[in-house]
Amino acid sequence: MMLKKLFNGELPLRVAFWKYGVLGLTILYYIHKMFRSLAGYYASGNNWINFFKNFNISNFSQINVVWLLCYFATSLFLIIYSCGIIKGIWKSAANYDKSIWLAQLARLIIVTIVVVIWWVIIKG
């Protein structure tokens, strides 16, 4: 319910930016990083294409399957959340009537945060 309000831009800009943008993306990034670390060698490739290309099932324990599934699930959720948070903050900034400069700054900062997070994830 709250994510729907967030993605539709119905939350105040302050709440959308700080609570769901900065804090939410930071928490999701570290959860993603934790699952990548737990998946170990199997998730250590530069990207998913190399992972599937070099995948070898020998000596693959069941717990690694769990960590890989968690890693891919958080990756997918982070993609969806990143797009949704940009859309939500963009709409919340459009509804923000106190300062056009703060609204534009919030847009710029959230796009920058998302780009930096994905740059770090992709470049590993």
Q: Mind giving me the DSSP string for 79-124?
A: HHHHHHHHHHHHHHHHH--S-HHHHHHHHHHHHHHHHHHHHHHHH-
Q: What is the pLDDT of residue 66?
A: 82
- Collapsing DSSP states into helix, strand and coil, what is residue 55? coil
Other beta carbons within 10 Å of 78:
19
DSSP single-letter state for residue 59: T
pTM of the model: 0.81
What is the percentage of the chain residues whose pLDDT exceeds 90?
A: 56
Other beta carbons within 10 Å of 102:
14
| 59-93 confidence digits (pLDDT tens) | 556 667 788 888 889 999 999 999 999 999 999 99
CB 7 within 8 A of CB 64: no
CB 21 within 8 A of CB 90: no
Average pLDDT, rounded, for the chain? 85
CB 103 within 8 A of CB 12: no
